[in-house]
């Protein structure tokens, strides 16, 4: 530090905060460019110090963390994949509009690495008429089996059983159709509230020796802040089906955060599915799923019966 003005060595004046004619302490001129030898010696001196702003440079983020949304399926094979919640029946409720769209959807699922899928048309839902539903499902199911065979996809028939709370819990448990021939039952709750008899209906399913699987709980506003209810449901053997597209962020940041929060909060009770309806807004997103979430992919329907989620707890 040198005193201005004048002095035995050349100095540059520092920034004057205000006024004129005052004397300020100023920084000496430093060379703008450093030689390579100087930089190397500085790095060598810093190497032994702890990481920090004045010491060794902190480690950079791994590429996996920076590029989380890379197509995981290309670099990290997912192994066997069961899609336990998707809508593949053409011209039934809000699934594919026609057989050609249905074929395109099963082809896309197979391309993304899905080996077996349970098609889950809506059941007991007030949004879709129940008249003639079973006949439509039977027709579409036959067609789907033929289409799936052409692309090498194993398909099972299940349903997404809507729990509005209007049915008696025992009647709901009796009417609900399981996933394939297994004991698991997919239960859908309304998006905007938690029906008064929702948990009673789920426990009625448990009492019948079946395992309830809550469809996309991250969408249900009534479940937000009800961690105690979810914990009781899980303790009784229930599972949470998280939608892969939500985890990948394809439906907004809020849904991405809610789905990942459930994975972190209940890692041993979560399982992923696509809830695919078409190839547009609700397309399957297995190819967008980051590799660190592969542990929540169930390989087959048999494993779902005793599914315990990922190997270890993980906070995404």
Q: What share of the chain is helix, strand, coil (3-state, %, to 5)?
A: 35, 15, 50
Q: Which is nearer to Fe ion, 74 or 280 (CB)?
A: 280
For the bound state, the minimum distance from the C-beta of residue 191 to Fe ion, rounded and expressed in Å, comes to 11
Whole-number Å distance between alpha carbons of 32 and 35: 10
Q: Which is nearer to Fe ion, 214 or 263 (CB)?
A: 214
Stretch that binds Fe ion, among 44-52, 73-81, 154-162, 258-266 (CB under 5 A): 154-162
- 160 scored as a contact of Fe ion (CB under 5 A): yes
- 278 scored as a contact of Fe ion (CB under 5 A): no
Stretch that binds Fe ion, among 11-19, 92-100, 143-151, 269-277 (CB under 5 A): 269-277
Q: Which residues pair with 83 in a beta bridge?
A: 117
CA nearest to 240, candidates 224, 216, 259 = 216
For the bound state, the minimum distance from the C-beta of residue 282 to Fe ion, rounded and expressed in Å, comes to 9
Q: Which is nearer to Fe ion, 26 or 215 (CB)?
A: 215
Residue 76 CA neighbour count, 13 Å, CB half: 16
Q: Which is nearer to Fe ion, 11 or 137 (CB)?
A: 137
Signed CA dihedral, 223, 216, 120, 238: sign only? negative
Stretch that binds Fe ion, among 11-19, 197-205, 271-279, 302-310 (CB under 5 A): 271-279
- 275 scored as a contact of Fe ion (CB under 5 A): yes
CA nearest to 120, candidates 169, 164, 185, 217 = 185
Whole-number Å distance between alpha carbons of 271 and 269: 7
Radius of gyration, CA atoms only, the chain: 29
Q: Which is nearer to Fe ion, 83 or 301 (CB)?
A: 83
Stretch that binds Fe ion, among 12-20, 50-58, 267-275, 304-312 (CB under 5 A): 267-275
For the bound state, the minimum distance from the C-beta of residue 222 to Fe ion, rounded and expressed in Å, comes to 17
Residue 291 CA neighbour count, 13 Å, CB half: 14
Q: Which is nearer to Fe ion, 83 or 160 (CB)?
A: 160
- 218 scored as a contact of Fe ion (CB under 5 A): no
Q: Which residues contribute to the site for Fe ion (CB under 5 A)?
A: 160, 275
């Amino acid at each position: 530090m040198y005193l201005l003005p004048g002095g035995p060595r050349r100095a540059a004046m520092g920034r004057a905060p205000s006024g004129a004619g005052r004397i300020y302490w100023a920084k000496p001129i430093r060379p703008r460019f450093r030689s390579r030898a100087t930089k190397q010696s500085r790095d060598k001196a810093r190497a032994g110090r702890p990481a920090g702003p004045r010491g060794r440079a902190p480690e950079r983020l791994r590429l996996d963390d920076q590029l989380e949304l890379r197509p995981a399926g290309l670099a990290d094979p997912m192994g066997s994949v069961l899609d336990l919640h998707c809508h593949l029946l053409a011209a039934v409720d809000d699934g594919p509009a026609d057989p050609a769209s249905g074929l395109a959807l099963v082809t896309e699922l197979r391309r993304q690495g899905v080996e077996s899928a349970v098609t889950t048309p809506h059941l007991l839902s007030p949004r879709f008429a129940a008249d003639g539903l079973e006949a439509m499902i039977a027709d579409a199911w036959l067609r789907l089996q033929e289409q799936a065979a052409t692309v090498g996809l194993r398909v099972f028939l299940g349903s997404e059983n809507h729990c509005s709370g209007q049915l008696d819990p025992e009647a709901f448990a009796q009417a609900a159709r399981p996933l394939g021939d297994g004991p698991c039952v997919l239960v859908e709750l309304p998006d905007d509230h938690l029906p008064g008899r929702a948990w009673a209906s789920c426990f009625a399913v448990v009492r019948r020796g079946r395992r309830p699987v809550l469809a996309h709980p991250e969408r249900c506003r009534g479940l937000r802040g009800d961690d105690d209810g979810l914990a009781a449901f899980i303790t009784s053997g229930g599972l949470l089906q998280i939608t892969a597209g939500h985890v990948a962020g394809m439906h907004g940041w809020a849904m991405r955060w809610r789905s990942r929060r459930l994975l972190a909060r209940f890692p041993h009770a979560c399982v992923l599915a696509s809830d695919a309806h078409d190839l547009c807004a609700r397309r399957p997103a297995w190819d967008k799923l980051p590799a660190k979430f592969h542990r929540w992919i169930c390989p087959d329907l048999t494993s779902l019966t005793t599914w315990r989620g990922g190997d270890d707890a993980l906070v995404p």
